[in-house]
Amino acid sequence: MFSLDGKTALITGASSGIGRQQAIALADAGASVVVVGRREDALLETVQLINKQLAKSDRQASTHVLSWDLLDRDSISDLAAACAALAGGGIDILCNTAGVNHRQSVDDITFDSWDSTLNLNLAVPFFLARELIPYMQQQRWGKIINVASLQSRQAFPNGLAYGASKGGIAQVTRAMAEAWSEHGITCNAIAPGFFPTELTAPVFANPSQSDALAQRTAMGRNGEMQDLNGVTVFFASPASDYITGQILYVDGGFTAL
């Protein structure tokens, strides 16, 4: 039920953080992976980590690296075609994980920073998914996993543009599910709590701040990257075939308190 043998997953933002962890988890579950991001050297590090994980069980994964600027809207269809070609057919699982958070005060937000945030965090997930949908429709099976946020439901300081994008991605996830679920394609979102990633580096660089956030969770700790493995594989696998349009908070109970 949780096996991804024979499936191909595309993960954007796989050069670090959540995207990298998703790539490792999906490959460990049997999927071939196409890792996408701007930094080829970091993507190659992701592949090395995948191979290191699989070596523990004497397995290998089919991995493909694709360096791409996702902010180039005009090239989204080219990206989808390139990924499908690398996959030898089409993409079964799409993880829309690339994102940006400029952490600007409301007075410092510019049109450029607003546009880059909404483009990468909100527009790219929809338009990339739409390019990949025909193959999923043809086989009547596909999985789309978006990344929401604690800011999908509550405001944080210096997060107005980011929060707008993540509130939007929660609704886009539901709308994608409404549009495509009848074709056997599910669309769900993971809403992480505080995990040590590049986006949250300023938080974890301040021990008192990260400790205070940990104490605001029901579990009394912040997230560890492996905490994302189970939910990623679940949403990508047949185990979740009757679950769609949902936002699952993986936050140690932060939103429960």
- The domain spans of the chain are 8-256
CATH 3.40.50.720 fits 8-256, yes or no: yes
What integer is the mean pLDDT of 108-112? 98
Tokens representing residue 101 in the block: 């958070």
Task: Reply yes or no on whether the pLDDT at 57 is more than 90.
Answer: no
Which residue shows structure tokens 């439901």? 153
pLDDT of residue 76: 97
Amino acid at site 159: G
On whether the CB atoms of residues 77 and 51 are closer than 8 A, the answer is no
**What is the rounded CA–CA span in Å between residue 65 and residue 36?**
6
In this prediction, residue 118 has a pLDDT band, given cuts at 50, 70 and 90, of very high
pLDDT of residue 93: 98
pLDDT 10s digits, 207-239: 999 999 999 999 999 999 999 999 999 999 999
**What is the rounded CA–CA span in Å between residue 67 and residue 193?**
28
3-state DSSP: the chain helix, strand, coil percent, rounded to 5? 50, 15, 35
In this prediction, residue 178 has a pLDDT band, given cuts at 50, 70 and 90, of very high
Name residues whose C-beta falls within 8 Å of residue 79's C-beta, 6 or more positions apart in sequence: 36, 66, 68, 70, 128, 131
**What is the rounded CA–CA span in Å between residue 132 and residue 38?**
20
pLDDT 10s digits, 66-93: 999 999 999 999 999 999 999 998 999 9
Task: Reply yes or no on whether the pLDDT at 58 is more than 90.
Answer: no
On whether the CB atoms of residues 56 and 38 are closer than 8 A, the answer is no
Ramachandran angles phi, psi of 55, nearest 5°: -65, -25
Task: Reply yes or no on whether the pLDDT at 59 is more than 90.
Answer: no
What integer is the mean pLDDT of 124-132? 98
Tokens representing residue 133 in the block: 């949908």
Angle at 234 (CA atoms; ends 70, 169), nearest 5 degrees = 40
Mean pLDDT of the chain: 96
pLDDT of residue 75: 97
Task: Reply yes or no on whether the pLDDT at 188 is more than 90.
Answer: yes
Task: Reply yes or no on whether the pLDDT at 61 is more than 90.
Answer: no
pLDDT of residue 213: 95
Burial class of residue 113 (count of CB atoms within 10 Å of its CB; 0-12, 13-18, 19+): middle
Name residues whose C-beta falls within 8 Å of residue 32's C-beta, 6 or more positions apart in sequence: 7, 8, 9, 61, 62, 63, 64, 87
On whether the CB atoms of residues 104 and 113 are closer than 8 A, the answer is yes
Give me the DSSP letters along 175-226: HHHHHHGGGTEEEEEEEE-S--SSTTHHHHTSHHHHHHHHHTSSSSS---GG
Ramachandran angles phi, psi of 81, nearest 5°: -65, -40
What integer is the mean pLDDT of 40-51? 97
pLDDT of residue 199: 84
What integer is the mean pLDDT of 13-29? 97
pTM above 0.95, yes or no: yes
Helix H or strand E encompassing 229: helix 229-236
Q: Is 135 a catalytic residue?
A: no
Sheet containing 93-96: give its strands across. Answer: 63-67, 32-37, 8-12, 93-96, 142-147, 185-192, 247-250
